[in-house]
């Protein structure tokens, strides 16, 4: 009886590892395809004089599930595709832009979310002062991390207008090593670095 239980537990553990590995591989493949699309989006339709940080087209309204840009995190050597929407299908492809929040250069809160075990799996290494870069087809925007916090998974107060101040808010599940549906969210707040005009 005890031997059978050990075999059953061992088999279950092996299955979980294989299933988790397959999910990670599948997600990585989907993200690589989406990243290629994001690079094409960023490269296309760029005006000769890109918008400086702090400006964006007023009519920029992507469709749900549309690939809209790239999130770069230099410290993690990460280049991640940004997809419009935060449903499970969207987050499978990369970082999701929370519908209804602003885009870079629109002087309000931008909210991007990602899974802790895929796109944001090394998120805990980020520190105050680290840079985060968003590339869109209308410009490149650099942000510096100012603050982090941990909130309850059901706390929606982190999503709010910050106008006229632009704040990039990155969210993921927490604790990072938690198995199953995590009870909390890890929030990163970053402020834009405005380029100075050169005479």
pLDDT in tens, the chain (199 residues): 566 554 555 444 444 444 444 444 455 666 778 899 999 999 986 554 344 444 677 778 899 999 999 999 999 999 999 999 999 989 999 999 999 999 999 999 999 999 988 889 889 999 999 999 999 999 999 999 999 999 999 998 999 999 999 999 999 999 988 887 889 999 999 999 975 443 3
Task: Give the C-alpha separation, 189 to 143, whole Å.
Answer: 9
Q: What is the pLDDT of residue 95?
A: 96
Among candidate residues 160, 166, 177, the one with its CA nearest the CA of residue 120: 177
CA angle 152, 73, 45 (to 5 degrees): 110
Told to judge if 115 belongs to the known catalytic residues of this protein, a careful annotator would answer yes
CA angle 167, 84, 169 (to 5 degrees): 20
Which of 51, 90, 97, 115 is an active site residue?
A: 115
Q: What is the pLDDT of residue 58?
A: 73
Dihedral sign (CA 170, 55, 162, 61): negative
Q: Are 187 and 158 in contact (CB under 8 A)?
A: yes
Q: What is the pLDDT of residue 177?
A: 82
Q: Please give the helix or strand (H or E) that residue 9 lies within, else none.
A: helix 2-43
Which of 16, 90, 97, 173 is an active site residue?
A: 173
Please tell me whether the peptide bond between 175 and the residue prior to it is cis, using omega within 30 degrees of 0: yes
Backbone angles phi, psi at 101, to 5 degrees: -90, 170
The pTM assigned to this predicted structure is 0.80
Q: What is the pLDDT of residue 27?
A: 54
Q: What is the pLDDT of residue 19?
A: 42
């Amino acid at each position: 009886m005890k031997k059978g239980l050990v075999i059953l537990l061992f088999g279950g553990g092996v299955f979980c590892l294989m299933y988790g590995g397959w999910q990670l591989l599948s997600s990585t493949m989907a993200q690589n395809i989406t990243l290629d699309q994001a690079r094409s989006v960023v490269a296309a339709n760029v005006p000769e004089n890109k918008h400086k940080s702090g400006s964006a087209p007023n009519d920029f309204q992507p469709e749900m599930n549309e690939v809209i840009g790239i999130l770069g995190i230099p410290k993690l050597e990460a280049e991640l595709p940004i997809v419009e929407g935060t449903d499970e299908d969207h987050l499978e492809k990369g970082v999701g832009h929370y519908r209804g929040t602003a885009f870079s250069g629109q002087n309000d809160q931008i909210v991007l979310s990602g899974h802790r075990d895929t796109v944001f799996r090394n998120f805990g290494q980020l520190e105050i002062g680290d840079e985060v870069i968003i590339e869109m087809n209308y410009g490149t925007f650099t942000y510096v991390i100012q603050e982090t916090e941990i909130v309850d998974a059901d706390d929606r107060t982190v999503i709010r207008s910050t106008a006229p101040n632009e704040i990039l808010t990155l969210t993921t599940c927490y604790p990072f090593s938690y198995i199953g549906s995590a009870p909390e969210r890890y929030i990163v707040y970053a402020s834009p670095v405005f380029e100075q005009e050169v005479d």
